[in-house]
Amino acid sequence: MTAGFASRLAGVFAGQGRLCVGIDPHGWLLSEWNLPDTAEGAREFGLRIVDAASGLAGIVKPQVAFFERFGSRGFDALEQVIRAAREQDILVIADAKRGDVGSSVDAYGETWLGEGSPLESDAVTLNPFQGVGALSGPFELAHRNGKGIFVLAATSNPEGIAGQKAKLTSGRTLARSILDDVTTWNAAHTTGPLGNVGVVLGATLDLAEFELGDSPVPAPPVLAPGFGHQGASVADLTTIYGALSDGVIVSESRALLATGPARIRQAVAARAEEVRLASA
């Protein structure tokens, strides 16, 4: 098996820090960057973000939806962006939020985590609505191929909060149940302090309300959207995530991307340093 995702992520944390630069080619952003709202524009945008992050931020997160809206040409653009990032030793988290059961979810796993797949990434986001157990195929594939997975657990969108706080028959919140299932998997498949399967926890939430305040062992990596444009402050990272802070990946997209092509590398450098100081 190749080196586990957790160990590679720890290396990124030690080298480039915890900043993850989102690659979200919104139509309005492409316009502000003087790029066409086409697959070709999305590709150029993504490649410029990769170049801006190189040597400064060790993780990028392409938002798959903004590429697949262009159909097959969009997927071709995404393939090129992913390949460029990985060739520069930048970890790629494909923000696909896929989820299904049986052979269908296994196919999603092969798409994003399969060795040699045109869309092969280092990690992918998955939706556990049909049960964390339904994701066992991608989990197993990730384990074999040294990949990572981030399972949605507590998201910032208002429509999801009530369901994620809902109590199951076990007495746990749904979000807590997801975290517990991830912890059980990591404990059985991970030898280091950081697991290969992580969770998505929004930075604008009060995690105590979801019963997520303690520190599972091994700790799951935490993909943390909500900083920057959505309002969460990097200075509050340890206050927001408490015992989970050591595994937090600070994900930021619009606030960085809106600085424009002339200033994006400077903005990434400044934000990476801010994140480093906040997580020291």
Catalytic residue among 61, 97, 147, 167: 97
147 catalytic residue (yes or no): no
Q: Measured between alpha carbons, how far is 10 from 232 in angstroms, rounded to an integer? A: 24
**CB under 8 Å to 159, separation ≥6 — which residues?**
none
Q: Measured between alpha carbons, how far is 67 from 248 in angstroms, rounded to an integer? A: 26
- DSSP per-residue string spanning 63-76: BTHHHHTTHHHHHH
Neighbours of 2 (CB within 10 A): 10
CA dihedral sign, ordered 47, 52, 56, 61: negative
Cis peptide bond prior to 218, omega within 30° of 0:
yes
Task: Assess contact for 92 and 86: CB atoms under 8 A.
Answer: yes
Place of tokens 């909500």: 226
Residues acting as catalytic residues: 97
